[in-house]
Structure 1
């Protein structure tokens, strides 16, 4: 059985549509799992949620951006560790529809699934005592083996850290397909996992897409912290493209 893993879409609908177009074209993916952070950073949060929730072949869990926005909407204040981006999360929450707020309110934090005899944990990131805090700044196979020592999982899928992580240890496989919606280049990342009784085969993939209109919309919509967000999470692509087009070094 083949499944697809998407994570950290971060309000980037063009990137999501490009990946779903790939998956639908090949027509051999039996289920899609979205590992959280559909929203935040990019301005297309409603469009992303609508797409995800209307697909019958897709299951999604909550990420820290969903929980940060919900904390503010519920009057709990900024999520621990997210105080510096509270204005941005307030903007996201203000623009979400009631139906989409209701949808993210009921998302699970984790999923425990079994496919072809393989036990899989679907999580956004590695929690300590079920709190929203990381135990590691940067994951490694050995660190994760320590965290999950004695657990029954053959495959642990996670996101949150935007670079790709793919570790095989004596205990299990750990996979983060990389952020779908945040990249220094217009490449949307995802993974396909083929599960058999004795094997787990993984393809790490990237899909090119057109994102100039998406990046320009940050300014058009007056997204809070837009200059920082484009620089930190999209490699300042508009400025870089302008410099390249005009031979500026």
Structure 2
């Protein structure tokens, strides 16, 4: 029997994009489970709406993202990885986070592993260093570099996010998959991936893009006085808000 899962990542506090994707996933009755690869919050400002929806679902498993980790660090009084304007942004997100979601966030692990039809899957927000920290972003990834990083791994499929572009590498060793950021896009589209693993171990990957109305979300950066809104809207959303002004 085929086994089918959905992979989402980098929601970044974008509730309308998340709702559109989860509704699309629910339309496929064959999808057994959804894996979320971190950065639930940060960048977007709909922190509590996103966490309310995600924490209410029993059919989604999570791993910790760097933005999630930074905001937890700030709330706990620890120094986050972020500096400058990014740290100010994280402090603002932390100050608006409903504390009832802290137990949910604190329980999220850094990695997960699962097996579907004998294939071993490894889930992580981004590649980890030997110190178990997130590695610096590699803007020119390759199957060779990924094979070297995961040379001791027994995984057949490595699923990750963080880099907001699709990765789909197949080496002799394993498959590497990043469906791209669900919540940050230069178009009103929310991407995710579906992985189907057959009885004989055959693997099929589908990349999906769900259209949604992002007008209210984009305009909210200014009305909510989100720190560094102009920079965020340009870098992560391609200044799409300008067509509504």
Rounded Cα–Cα distance in structure 1 between residues aligned with 2:12 and 2:233: 12
Q: Indicate the residue corresponding to 2:230 in structure 1.
A: 227
Q: Indicate the residue corresponding to 2:55 in structure 1.
A: 53
Unaligned runs of 5+ in 2: none
| CA deviation string 1:107-141 (max 9, x = no partner) | 10000111110000000000102432315522221
Matched, 1:204 2:207: yes
Q: TM-score w.r.t. structure 1 length?
A: 0.93
Does the 8 Å contact 1:159/1:178 carry over to 2? Answer: yes
Query: Could you say what secondary structure the match of 1:21 adopts?
Result: helix
Query: Could you say what secondary structure the match of 1:52 adopts?
Result: helix
Query: What is the Cα deviation at residue 242 of structure 1?
Result: 5.1
| CA deviation string 1:68-122 (max 9, x = no partner) | 111111111222xx21311110111111111212211121000011111000000
Q: 1:130 to 1:120 in 2, by over 3 A?
A: farther
Does the 8 Å contact 1:36/1:63 carry over to 2? Answer: yes
Rounded Cα–Cα distance in structure 1 between residues aligned with 2:117 and 2:100: 35
Q: Indicate the residue corresponding to 2:167 in structure 1.
A: 165
Q: 1:107 to 1:166 in 2, by over 3 A?
A: same
Q: How does 1:112-127 map onto structure 2 within 5 Å?
A: 112-127=113-128
Rounded Cα–Cα distance in structure 2 between residues aligned with 1:136 and 1:237: 25
Q: 1:164 to 1:134 in 2, by over 3 A?
A: same
Query: Could you say what secondary structure the match of 1:134 adopts?
Result: coil
Query: What is the Cα deviation at residue 174 of structure 1?
Result: 0.1
Query: Could you say what secondary structure the match of 2:77 adopts?
Result: coil
Q: TM-score w.r.t. structure 2 length?
A: 0.95
Question: RMSD across aligned C-alpha pairs, in angstroms?
Answer: 1.3
Which of structure 1's runs of 4+ aligned residues deviate more than 4 A? Answer: none
Q: Indicate the residue corresponding to 1:106 in structure 2.
A: 107
Query: Could you say what secondary structure the match of 2:31 adopts?
Result: coil
Does the 8 Å contact 2:5/2:31 carry over to 1? Answer: yes
Unaligned runs of 5+ in 1: 244-249
Tell me the number of residue pairs that the alignment of Structure 1 and Structure 2 aligns: 240
Q: 1:43 to 1:242 in 2, by over 3 A?
A: closer
Q: 1:136 to 1:45 in 2, by over 3 A?
A: closer
Query: What is the Cα deviation at residue 150 of structure 1?
Result: 3.1
Does the 8 Å contact 1:64/1:132 carry over to 2? Answer: no
Query: Could you say what secondary structure the match of 1:132 adopts?
Result: coil
Rounded Cα–Cα distance in structure 2 between residues aligned with 1:127 and 1:20: 28
Query: Could you say what secondary structure the match of 2:196 adopts?
Result: strand
Query: Could you say what secondary structure the match of 1:32 adopts?
Result: strand
Q: 1:225 to 1:167 in 2, by over 3 A?
A: same
Does the 8 Å contact 1:127/1:135 carry over to 2? Answer: no
